[in-house]
Amino acid sequence: MPFTKEEREYLKLLGNNIVKIRKERGIKQKELSDILDIDDGSLRRIESGRTNPTTMTLYGIAIALKIELKDLFSFEND
């Protein structure tokens, strides 16, 4: 089922926040995908907001970035 416009925008905000936190931590995209044991294309789709990551993938990202899961969702949703 395709995403609504609002859902696509939310996934983009989430992805942008992941990128921001990852870069703040000095972690390259390939490094994070290796830590998560996912291909870098999957991580690129998450970070660009083109896919809806599972809860466990988000949990893994939070652990790898040494943040709480809720911090992935700390962004303004205008």
CATH number assigned to the domain comprising residue 22: 1.10.260.40
For residue 70, tell me if it sits in a domain. no
Q: Alpha helix locations (H) across 25-72?
A: 29-36, 40-47, 55-64
Establish if 28 belongs to a structural domain. yes
Query: How does pLDDT run across 2-37, given as a tens digit for each residue?
Result: 899 999 999 999 999 999 999 999 999 999 999 999
- Is the residue at 38 inside a domain? yes
Domain span including residue 29: 5-65
Confirm if 22 and 65 have CB atoms less than 8 A apart.
yes
The tally of domains found in the chain comes to 1
| 24 domain-assigned | yes
pTM of the model: 0.92
- Does residue 71 lie within any of the structural domains? no
pLDDT tens digits, one per residue of 43-55: 999 999 999 999 9
User: Is 77 part of a structural domain of the chain?
Assistant: no
Q: In this structure, is residue 72 part of a structural domain?
A: no
